[in-house]
């Protein structure tokens, strides 16, 4: 194979189509589910594709646009119900399915697009027992939207990220009473639009600086104890309250799914929990690229597709030998108020005229300027009225401005 794409979700689909656009001959997508689309297939809500298609599509509509693209390309080999269990450092892929058994696939380039998984109850240290009735939001979404089952009658949601908010609405429409959404931070984790249309519309209260501290019930969930937290996120004694419920929905964060990346000993960024990537979204292993949520969790699927396309273009160039693989990297580092940046490093020779960068701020800020500095000079200056951690910021660096600089590039968000 020329390029094998691991994962047929929005990143993988976009990558495969883009690879074909750039005349890569042998392209394969390996997908573990029974169909392409990845997590989008259970995202029946709208809000996808505003940037790319100018419309608010549902997740499945967005996915189908790309799936049509892949299926119309006769040359893209799609392996469904196939899972990759190992990739060696020399890019040998071990994948398996029921029909073909264990396959050894050799590929010149690989694009990792495995997406992400959900943080569990243990990782947020909720004390108490381990009854049934404690599920992550994605699992609840799967049960309701794809299997047609409701996991409870009365729910408490922990986490105000978008998935928690979306599920608040979905559960309410399906007849599950949502008692409230609890958020440990002092500001909401999801988009304002979702708070309005998923909570306010249905009179579901959101409690900030409050978290679930204990789970009750031996075999089946009987209730939870919630408590307010101080600025160090420690529960405040005396604020505990018991809430009767039979479903605790955990929307407590997404983590890039990097089992394979770690196995290959790819360098991982401890801030993003995903591979360190360069301007082509290439990882620390030559010819292995990464795109989408496996690199860092994006909030807009449009950007996920974009990174898939960047990785595919990079892989196409790599196959042709058009990439500079030897000169030193320059780092892109987060400055004031910036949590992390992707990509983390660049090779100037490989840049085209614009370099997109993706980053998040650490806290909500009003009236700010995004500043890019390299060797004491500003190469980026962009004003924003408001920036929020749940809304990833995407800027474009004009590569002319950094062409002759050799030191690191620092991106900061300064107030004023």
Scanning 20-28, 126-134, 237-245, 305-313 for contacts with other proteins by CB under 8 A, the matching segment is: 126-134
State the binding string over 258-297 for other proteins (x if CB under 8 A, else -): -x--x-----------------------------------
Binding mask 47-66 for other proteins (x = CB under 8 A): ---------x-x-xx-xx--
Q: Which stretch binds other proteins (CB under 8 A): 93-101, 280-288, 309-317, 371-379?
A: 93-101
Helix or strand run (H / E) with residue 320: helix 301-320
Q: How many CB atoms lie within 10 A of CB 67?
A: 20
| Nearest of 159, 166, 224, 156 to residue 185 by alpha carbon | 159
Contact status: 127 vs other proteins (CB under 8 A)? yes
- We find the least distance from the C-beta atom of residue 66 to other proteins, in angstroms, to be 12
Query: DSSP assignment, residue 229?
Result: B
User: Residue 140 Cβ, how far from other proteins at the closest point, in Å?
Assistant: 10
Of 190, 159, 178, 194, residue with least CA distance to 46: 194
Return the number of the residue (139 or 239) whose C-beta is nearest other proteins. Answer: 139
201 touches other proteins by CB under 8 A: yes
In the complex, what is the shortest distance from the CB of residue 55 to other proteins, in angstroms, rounded to a whole number?
11
Residue 32 in the binding site for other proteins (CB under 8 A): yes
Q: How far is the CB of 67 from other proteins (least distance, A)?
A: 9
Q: Do 247 and 132 contact (CB within 8 A), yes or no?
A: no
The CB-of-59 to other proteins minimum distance in angstroms stands at 8
Nearer to other proteins, 129 or 327 (CB): 129
Residue 289's nearest CA partner among 142, 107, 81 is: 107
Binding of other proteins by 130 (CB under 8 A): yes
239 binds other proteins per the rule CB under 8 A: no
Q: How far is the CB of 401 from other proteins (least distance, A)?
A: 26
Q: In whole angstroms, what is the distance from residue 88 CA to residue 92 CA?
A: 5
Which residue, 144 or 312, is less far from other proteins as judged by CB?
A: 144
Contacts of 18 (CB under 8 A, 6+ apart): 308, 309, 312, 313
Which of 18, 118, 302, 306 lies at the binding interface for other proteins (CB under 8 A)? 118
* Single residue of 50, 77, 80, 150 touching other proteins by CB under 8 A: 150
117 is an interface residue for other proteins by CB under 8 A: yes
Decide: is 415 part of the binding site for other proteins (CB under 8 A).
Answer: no
Residue 233 interacts with other proteins (CB under 8 A): yes or no: no
Q: Residues near 149 by Cβ (< 8 Å), separated by ≥ 6?
A: 143
Distance (Å) of CA 229 to CA 47, 69, 128, 380: 32, 48, 18, 38
For residue 106, what are the β-bridge partners? 92
Residue 132 C-beta: closest distance to other proteins, Å: 4
**Shortest Å distance, C-beta 189 to other proteins:** 15
Nearer to other proteins by Cβ, of 29 and 315: the residue is 29
Select from 78-86, 286-294, 327-335, 407-415 the region that touches other proteins (CB under 8 A).
Answer: 78-86
128 lies in the site for other proteins, by CB under 8 A: yes
Per CB under 8 A, the segment of 148-156, 339-347, 351-359, 399-407 that binds other proteins is 148-156
Tell whether residue 83 is a contact of other proteins (CB under 8 A). Answer: yes
DSSP 212: E
From the centroid of its chain, how far is CA 312? 18
- Touching other proteins, residues 371-400 (CB under 8 A): 384-388, 391
Establish if 220 lies at the interface with other proteins (CB under 8 A): yes
Considering only residues 292 through 321, tell me which ones interact with other proteins, judged by CB under 8 A.
Answer: none
Distance in angstroms (rounded) separating the CA atoms of residues 252 and 171: 17
The string over 97-131, giving b where at least 16 C-beta atoms fall within 10 Å of a residue's C-beta and e elsewhere, is eeeeeeeebebebbbbbbbbbbbebeeeebebeeb
Contacts of 357 (CB under 8 A, 6+ apart): 332, 341, 342, 343, 394, 395, 396, 397, 411
Q: How many residues contact other proteins, by CB under 8 A?
A: 81
Sign of CA dihedral 303, 306, 311, 312: positive
Query: Angle at CA 248, nearest 5°, toward 245 and 253?
Result: 160
């Amino acid at each position: 194979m020329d390029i094998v794409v691991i994962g047929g979700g929005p990143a993988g689909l976009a990558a495969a189509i883009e690879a074909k656009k750039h005349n890569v001959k042998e392209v394969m997508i390996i997908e573990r589910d029974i169909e392409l689309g990845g997590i989008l297939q259970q995202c029946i809500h709208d809000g996808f594709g505003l940037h790319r298609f100018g419309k608010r599509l549902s997740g499945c509509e967005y996915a189908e646009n790309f799936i049509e693209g892949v299926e119309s390309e006769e040359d893209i080999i799609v392996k469904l119900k196939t899972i990759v269990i190992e990739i060696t450092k020399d890019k040998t892929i071990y994948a398996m399915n029921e029909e073909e058994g264990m396959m050894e696939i050799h590929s010149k380039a690989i694009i990792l697009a495995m997406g992400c998984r959900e943080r569990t109850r243990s990782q947020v240290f909720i004390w108490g027992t381990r009854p049934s009735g404690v599920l992550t939001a994605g699992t609840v979404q799967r049960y309701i939207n794809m299997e047609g089952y409701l996991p409870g009658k009365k729910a408490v949601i922990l986490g105000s990220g978008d998935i928690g908010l979306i599920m608040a609405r979905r559960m309410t429409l399906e007849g599950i009473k949502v008692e409230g959404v609890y958020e440990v931070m002092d500001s909401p984790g999801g988009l304002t639009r979702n708070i309005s249309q998923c909570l306010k519309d249905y009179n579901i209260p959101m409690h900030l600086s409050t978290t679930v501290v204990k789970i009750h019930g031996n075999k089946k969930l009987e209730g939870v104890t919630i408590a307010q937290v101080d600025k160090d996120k420690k529960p405040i004694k005396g604020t505990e309250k018991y809430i009767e419920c039979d479903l605790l929905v955990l929307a407590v964060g997404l983590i890039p799914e990097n089992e394979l990346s770690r196995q290959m000993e790819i360098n991982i960024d401890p801030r993003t929990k995903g591979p360190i990537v360069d301007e082509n979204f290439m990882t620390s292993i030559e010819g292995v690229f990464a795109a989408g949520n496996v690199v860092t969790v994006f909030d807009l699927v449009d950007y996920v597709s974009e990174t898939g396309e960047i990785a595919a273009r990079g892989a196409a160039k790599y196959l042709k030998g058009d990439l500079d693989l030897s000169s030193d990297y320059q780092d892109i580092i987060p400055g004031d108020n910036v949590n992390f940046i992707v990509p983390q490093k660049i090779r100037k020779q490989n840049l085209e005229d614009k370099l997109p960068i993706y980053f998040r701020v650490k806290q909500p800020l009003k009236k700010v300027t995004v500043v890019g500095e390299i060797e004491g000079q500003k190469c980026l200056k962009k004003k924003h009225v408001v920036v929020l951690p749940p809304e990833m910021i995407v800027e474009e660096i004009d590569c002319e401005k950094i062409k002759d600089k050799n030191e690191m590039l620092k991106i900061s968000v300064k107030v004023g």
